[in-house]
Amino acid sequence: MTPELAHDLKASVRTIPDYPKPGIMFRDITTLLGDPRSFRRAVDELVQPWAGSKIDKVAGIEARGFIIGGAIAHQVSSGFVPIRKKGKLPHTCVSMSYALEYGTDIIEMHADALVRGERVILVDDLIATGGTAEGAIKLLRQVGAEVVAACFIIDLPELGGADKIRAMGVPVRTLIGFEGH
């Protein structure tokens, strides 16, 4: 990706200070999503390394991962799998507990969303500490999926999440980085 593209995408992300709590700089991608050119370029850049590869499913993490993941699934002609917080899906689910900054949470997906051996790209808007993405990868692997990559528009490199995912043997694709939290 060119430095110019990274700059353009970064400029399309709104930063909201002290949200959801003091000291946090919230990176809001709704402004990027609302700009057709930035949204299209972000999706194109996220899938570029796997263009022409066999991708069976794109798994998106609730909620912004649904938006990006749906667009990526369309782009690579694959199915889409929602990964949601516990209790949000209506059919038989498999679940995985994952670490939060303070405590744990549970994510789920439908038990029949994937077939063992399917090649999956995991997608979300941002990677920080990597706890949710790590849980999602474990969940996908639990049902026998091959996690081909994890893709995020934004990386907060100081928090180490992308490195945590790479240490699990999953390539990580990010488009822009922001310093701090």
In a domain, 105, yes or no: yes
Among all residues, which ones are annotated catalytic? 64, 101
> Is residue 179 predicted with pLDDT exceeding 90?
no
pLDDT at 100: 77
Q: What's the mean pLDDT in 45-67?
A: 95
**Domain extent for 75:** 53-177
pLDDT at 4: 79
Q: What total of structural domains would you count in the chain?
A: 1
pLDDT at 1: 67
Per-residue pLDDT of 64-117, as tens digits, reads 999 999 999 999 999 999 999 999 999 999 999 998 777 889 999 999 999 999
In a domain, 150, yes or no: yes
Q: What are the CA-CA distances from residue 52 to residues 12, 28, 55, 78 (Å)?
A: 28, 31, 9, 12
Taking the C-alpha atoms of residue 177 and residue 130, their distance in angstroms, rounded to an integer, is 14
pLDDT band at 6 (very low <50, low <70, confident <90, very high): confident
Kindly report the CATH number assigned to the domain that includes residue 111.
3.40.50.2020
Pairing type for strands 25-28 and 14-17 reads antiparallel
Entry pTM = 0.94
Contact 152, 72 (CB under 8 A): no
In a domain, 159, yes or no: yes
In a domain, 19, yes or no: no
In a domain, 20, yes or no: no
In a domain, 31, yes or no: no
Place of tokens 């990964």: 83
In a domain, 60, yes or no: yes
Q: What's the mean pLDDT in 134-159?
A: 97
In a domain, 25, yes or no: no
Average pLDDT score over the chain: 94
Q: Bridge-partner residues for 57, per DSSP?
A: 79, 120
